[in-house]
Structure 1
Amino acid sequence: MEVSEQPDAVAAPADPQQLAEAVAAAMLERDAASTMLGMQIEAAGPGYARVAMIVRDDMVNGHQTCHGGLIFSLADSAFAFACNSDNQNTVGAACNIDYLRPGLAGDRLVAEAEKRFGAGRSGVYDVTVRNQRDEIIVLFRGKSHRVRGEVLETMRDNAAR
């Protein structure tokens, strides 16, 4: 039996800004749900992410406003990009969301996530979703929990799965 040689580990960028950008790009590439909803990462940094989405006609509910679950998804995706920005696998542990205004078909919604606190394996992030008129649509607070592993895994790690 011949064993194929696996490539060495892919080095993650050492610069925190470049690392956050690389992590966000890798996560979005694997994120079929966010991609399907048309989300685009506008900015990523250490403990920070800004993600945009246009409300399409197929995203409105019976009240002709954007379905709250889809706005939640936008806020949750920004939260995920922000809390994984240091390349440590991190998941949501809890969240709270306040819907303040409706999103309408054609609106451009932007979710801005910022780290507020971090200690040990836990973090707290605030996400504000605004429309193109800079009106606040949603306030979201997420609590994160760090788990094992890194976002930017090596090819060897992936081959072992």
Structure 2
Amino acid sequence: MRRRLIGMLRPFVQWLSATDAFARIAPGIVPRMDRAAHRLTRGRVVLSDQMLPTLILTTTGSKSGEPRVAPVSCLPEEDGGFLLVGSNFGRPNHPAWSGNLIATPEATVSFRGQVSPVTGRLLTGDERADAWARLVGAWPVYDRYTERAADRELRVFRLSPRL
């Protein structure tokens, strides 16, 4: 029943996510709600994960050196890795987590109750194009974010499990 309801709501949420109003309001609300739910459930729940896969990414701040925590939509891969888009809701600047990941690729993810060390890598060329097609197939709103962030190319990362 729950999956059916989510399936019915998905087109509406995609439409809403593509609006300019959502891009203005969501960055101040959605990450805070996701972090709070994650903290209150001891890592078992991230609210956005109900609509599209979302992980909690912990990077090292490129300036501060301190841990930085950000909920990020993702596309899980078969090898235990993830694809991420630095969309920042289509806003003009890259999200801070993406700069942190470039500066220090070692990070940690919490995904559906599992915490894992990962290494991030910025994708380019054909590898980025292939990943982008998969990401847009999973969440078409990324194309709208690309239009909105016309002055920058959205960064695409692959997070690979560290052994």
**Normalized against structure 1, the TM-score is what?**
0.28
Task: Report which of the two has the higher share of helix.
Answer: 2
**Normalized against structure 2, the TM-score is what?**
0.28
